[in-house]
């Protein structure tokens, strides 16, 4: 098995992928910002110098979530450096960690065949990454996770990650509106396992990382065992309040893979094992 280089191994998802690969006996080179600053003028040269012909690469480095045009521009600088560097080596396989944000909001449920028509800067960034990586002359795959949760999440975004941390401090959870919007959530361990299988096995094409089970934010909050309150909603519900997925393609690619049910995943995070 060729070496697997994880670009962005210092991050939440990239670190989980590197750890999973190492636990499976793969030879992994972890690259983080201290190794290569992808915004630096010499980033492509520095990254290319760390790569070898025959490597497998997982590209998980990004500035996310993208909330401004400036962040979008920085991400394009980063992907340019990665693509330029990767293009200088004869690679065995490249896996790009993308996002379900590339999809339009319908038709539902969403699948790998759904239109890629992002409505956010974050989605536009990930679609641009996919198009940029597609210029590489090597086997390529994209993994598109939906909302990712896990104990080490650095963003504290609205949903399981923030709710769990509030509950650990015994604080009440305040919902947007009544928390009625329904979304899918995926445990970072599951994303890492799928990425490891795709990278090691040379899978090409697109796969989503989404269990296919939607939960309302109120349902999730009420699992935490603390007081839950609604609040006036400032704007429309994102994605119309409903964004389900059809997981058949992922399960067909890896028939023995099973997603972690949300209640079980939350318990793992409370025990800090994810």
Contacting residues for 200 by C-beta, under 8 A, at least 6 apart: 1, 4, 21, 24, 26, 56
Model confidence band, residue 274 (pLDDT cutoffs 50, 70, 90): low
Model confidence band, residue 106 (pLDDT cutoffs 50, 70, 90): confident
Task: Please tell me what DSSP assigns to residue 100.
Answer: G
The Cα–Cα gap between 77 and 191 comes to 25
Model confidence band, residue 235 (pLDDT cutoffs 50, 70, 90): confident
Does residue 272 have a pLDDT over 70?
A: no
Q: What is the pTM of this model?
A: 0.96
Closest by CA to 192, choosing from 143, 159, 154, 156, is: 143
* SS3 assignment, position 147: strand
What does the DSSP assignment read for 198-254?
Answer: HHHHT--EEEEE--S--EEHHHHHHTTSS-EE-B---SPPGGGGEE-B--HHHHHHS
Arithmetic mean of pLDDT, 107-124:
95
User: Residue 77: exposed, middle, or buried by beta-carbon count in 10 A (0-12, 13-18, 19+)?
Assistant: middle
Cα four-point dihedral sign 65, 69, 75, 78: negative
What domains can be seen in the chain, in order of their start residue? Answer: 4-151+185-212+244-259 (3.40.50.720)
Contacting residues for 115 by C-beta, under 8 A, at least 6 apart: 103, 104
């Amino acid at each position: 098995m060729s070496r697997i280089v994880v670009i962005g191994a210092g991050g939440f998802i990239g670190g989980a992928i590197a750890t999973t690969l190492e636990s499976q006996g793969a030879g992994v080179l972890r690259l983080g910002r201290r190794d290569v600053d992808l915004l630096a003028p010499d980033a492509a040269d520095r990254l290319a110098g760390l790569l070898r012909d025959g490597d497998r690469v997982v590209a998980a480095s990004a500035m996310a979530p993208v909330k401004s045009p400036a962040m979008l521009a920085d991400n394009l600088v980063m992907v340019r450096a990665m693509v330029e560097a990767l293009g200088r080596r004869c690679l065995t396989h490249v896996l790009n960690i993308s996002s379900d944000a590339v999809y339009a909001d319908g038709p539902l449920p969403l699948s790998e065949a759904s239109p890629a028509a992002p409505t956010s800067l974050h989605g536009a960034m990930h679609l641009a990454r996919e198009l940029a990586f597609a210029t590489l002359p090597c086997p390529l795959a994209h993994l598109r996770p939906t909302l990712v949760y896990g104990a080490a999440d650095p963003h504290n975004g609205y949903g399981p990650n923030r709710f769990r941390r509030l509950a650990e401090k015994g604080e009440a959870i305040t919902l947007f509106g009544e928390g009625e919007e329904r979304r899918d959530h995926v445990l970072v361990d599951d994303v890492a396992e799928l990425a490891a299988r795709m990278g090691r096995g040379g899978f090409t094409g697109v796969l989503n990382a989404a269990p296919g089970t939607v939960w309302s934010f109120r349902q999730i909050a009420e699992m935490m065992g603390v007081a839950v309150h609604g609040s006036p909603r400032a704007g429309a519900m994102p994605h119309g309040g409903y964004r389900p997925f059809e997981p058949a393609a992922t399960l067909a690619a890896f028939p023995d893979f099973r997603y972690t049910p949300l209640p079980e995943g939350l318990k793992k995070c409370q025990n800090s094992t994810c």
